[in-house]
Structure 1
């Protein structure tokens, strides 16, 4: 303790801050090293990658967050239907482009699209319909994903 007695409070504070910075830098370098060894396995999780939420065949950008109070999804073995509501700070036209590009990967066919203040994309599969509703407001963009099974006996040309 004798070494530190000659330091003023100001000098002791600077020494403490310097020691803390060195410790932080060392721990940061150590975590980077650990991250590098994990990348050798070829398994890396992209924290910005889109996700499948309640509908296993409708991909959603990760920037959109689920609004549980406005969502209702019904599930049985082999069927999920309902509405998934999300919001986020995402440009509406980039969402339109995202769904136009990604729904085909899950075997959805674009039937029609309404593009205006309220954007609606209508997709179909062999036994289901999906309506994507995108509305831009001042601070957030709101997204509703409606998925419904087709009604048996309905016109296949609809």
Structure 2
């Protein structure tokens, strides 16, 4: 009876460890990633509101906590995704795939609440990977994209370390000051 219990425990451990190693290996960009046409739709990594930020296939979009604002000059998004994926595997997934999409990594902090910062010309992206509990990992993506046809004020503000918003008001020649407001549309509805 004692030998049977030991063999059963060993079998469960071996199966559990092999399942964990397959899950971690599956996070890369090999088969099952966004370019594989042979997999099922739910087995494919995908792009959401930004066409150069790849999202891991097991993450689901949280429409209640997400907002994307787009105007002719810029696109800003705060997106939240949830899923049951190991934190460091997600960090490695984003490091690998953001580089493939042309992003330059400028900061990495790996911990229970990991943070990654990437940039491109006229773009910046911050990704937070947060272990909420054993059943959920939350991913928060903040992205700013200044469009090529955007105003010069926004581009120079972005290059000087700002977030792309011009703080200089436009004056109408009199004593009053006119602030130009961007057109806002909610893409999550």
TM-score, structure 1 length as denominator?
0.66
Instruction: Measure the CA separation in 1 of the matches of 2:136 and 2:73.
Output: 33
Shift of 1:114: 1.1
Quote the residue 1:25 is aligned against. Answer: none
Quote the residue 2:3 is aligned against. Answer: none
Equivalent position SS for 1:144: strand
**Between 69-78 and 108-117, the greater mean CA deviation after superposition:** 69-78
**Residues 61-95 of structure 1 deviation map (CA, whole Å, 9 limit, x = unaligned):** 11000000000011235743211101000111110
**Correspondence for 2:88 among 73, 88, 93:** 93
Instruction: Measure the CA separation in 1 of the matches of 2:87 and 2:44.
Output: 18
Question: Of Structure 1 and Structure 2, which has the larger fraction of its residues in helix?
Answer: 1
Tell whether 2:119 aligns with 1:114: no
Larger radius of gyration: 1
What runs of 5+ residues in structure 2 fail to find an aligned partner?
Answer: 1-36, 147-153, 162-189
Pick 1 or 2: higher relative contact order, CA cutoff 8 A, min separation 6.
2
Quote the residue 1:146 is aligned against. Answer: 142
Aligned residues: 114
Equivalent position SS for 1:54: coil
Tell whether 2:138 aligns with 1:133: no
Question: CA 1:155/1:77 → structure 2, altered by over 3 Å: closer, same or farther?
Answer: closer
Instruction: Measure the CA separation in 2 of the matches of 1:117 and 1:62.
Output: 21
Instruction: Measure the CA separation in 2 of the matches of 1:124 and 1:110.
Output: 7
CA RMSD of aligned residues (A): 1.9
Mapped contact 2:104–2:118 kept (Cα < 8 A): yes
Equivalent position SS for 1:113: strand
Quote the residue 1:53 is aligned against. Answer: 48
Shift of 1:116: 1.3
**Correspondence for 1:44 among 18, 38, 46:** 38
TM-score, structure 2 length as denominator?
0.56
Structure 1 stretches (4+) deviating beyond 3 angstroms?
43-46, 76-79, 153-156
